[in-house]
Amino acid sequence: MASLNGITWSGKPKFQIRNPSYNSTNIYIDLAVGHVWRIDCANISGAIGNFTVQNVPSGTGIVSSFLLGLIQGPNPSTNYLNWLAMTNVKWAGGIRGVQPYQKHLINSAQMDSGDILIYSNGHYLSAPASETVGGPNSILPIRFTTTGTLPTGIALNTNYWSYYSSNMYFFPSTTVVASGEGGGSGTPITYVNGGTGTHYWHMYHHEKHQNIQTATDNAVDYLSFTTWDNGTTWYGTVVGRDIK
């Protein structure tokens, strides 16, 4: 392997684009054969939850990186890379890429001290009590959908935030939670009824907190991954979304 102590690119560096191998549970990136990778999500099935990078260069004082292009498939809510489960990849702000329009079941909408309390087992919104403004729990809006009628006080196509969350319960707030979940400074919604039908919530991504991958079929997104510790942790960043 060549080791260049400084290099000037007067000519163009070219990269062979490689296709990662994958199965129903794993995606494999082999750094021995490529730096730039691309996967067409139309070909995957289910939610792939493991991100395995093979042949990561190892040594003291080195940093390795690669690029991954994602082409969205026609069924992004069922066939996708489940970044939530890929805990070896870290994302800015901890925004781990809840899949677009991935619906989370609401087990029940209950009354707690007169306010609506949402019970949604494993809802992923939990965070340390010390979470401050800027964390995913306090500023990322969520929205609700239903097969029937939402609880009174909760509307479709409307942003809400969460506070006092555990991995099962959270209070919906009509305003951005000002001091994190532990601060309890959200604006609660008075409980009137639990509505009818089956209710769901999903992350709603606005301009500054977009999802990792664009939901539109054939949309192209490019991600960059860098490791500072020989592959134990990868720092993921979005190079470009919905590139046209």
Alpha carbons 162 and 212: distance in angstroms, whole number: 21
Tell me: does residue 105 bind another protein (CB under 8 A): no
Alpha carbons 48 and 101: distance in angstroms, whole number: 17
Binds another protein (CB under 8 A): choice among 44, 56, 68, 116: 56
Tell me: does residue 113 bind another protein (CB under 8 A): no
Interface of this chain with another protein, residues 154 to 213, rule: CB under 8 A: none
Query: Of 150 and 238, which CB lies nearer to another protein in the complex structure?
Result: 238
Tell me: does residue 222 bind another protein (CB under 8 A): no
Tokens of 201: 């919530």
Instruction: Report how far Cα 184 is from the mean position of its chain's Cα atoms.
Output: 25
Query: Of 74 and 94, which CB lies nearer to another protein in the complex structure?
Result: 94
Tokens of 63: 């940093």
Query: Of 28 and 228, which CB lies nearer to another protein in the complex structure?
Result: 228
Least Å from the CB of residue 236 to another protein? 8
Q: Which of 96, 92, 95, 90 has the alpha carbon at shortest distance from 47?
A: 96
Binds another protein (CB under 8 A): choice among 50, 52, 132, 179: 132
Interface of this chain with another protein, residues 69 to 98, rule: CB under 8 A: 90-94, 96
Alpha carbons 22 and 153: distance in angstroms, whole number: 44
Q: Are 64 and 226 in contact (CB under 8 A)?
A: yes
Alpha carbons 91 and 75: distance in angstroms, whole number: 24
Q: What's the start-to-end Cα distance of the chain, in Å?
A: 36
DSSP characters over 124-186: S----TT--TTSHHHH--EEEEESSBPPTT--TT--BEEES--SSEEEEESS--TTHHHHT-S
**Contact stretch for another protein (CB under 8 A) within 11-19, 70-78, 168-176, 196-204:** 11-19
Query: Of 84 and 111, which CB lies nearer to another protein in the complex structure?
Result: 84
Q: Which of 102, 110, 114 has the alpha carbon at shortest distance from 200?
A: 102
Tell me: does residue 148 bind another protein (CB under 8 A): no
Binds another protein (CB under 8 A): choice among 21, 63, 78, 218: 63
Interface of this chain with another protein, residues 13 to 42, rule: CB under 8 A: 13-16, 31-35
Interaction site with another protein (CB under 8 A): 4-16, 31-35, 55-57, 61-66, 90-94, 96, 132, 134-135, 226, 228, 235, 237
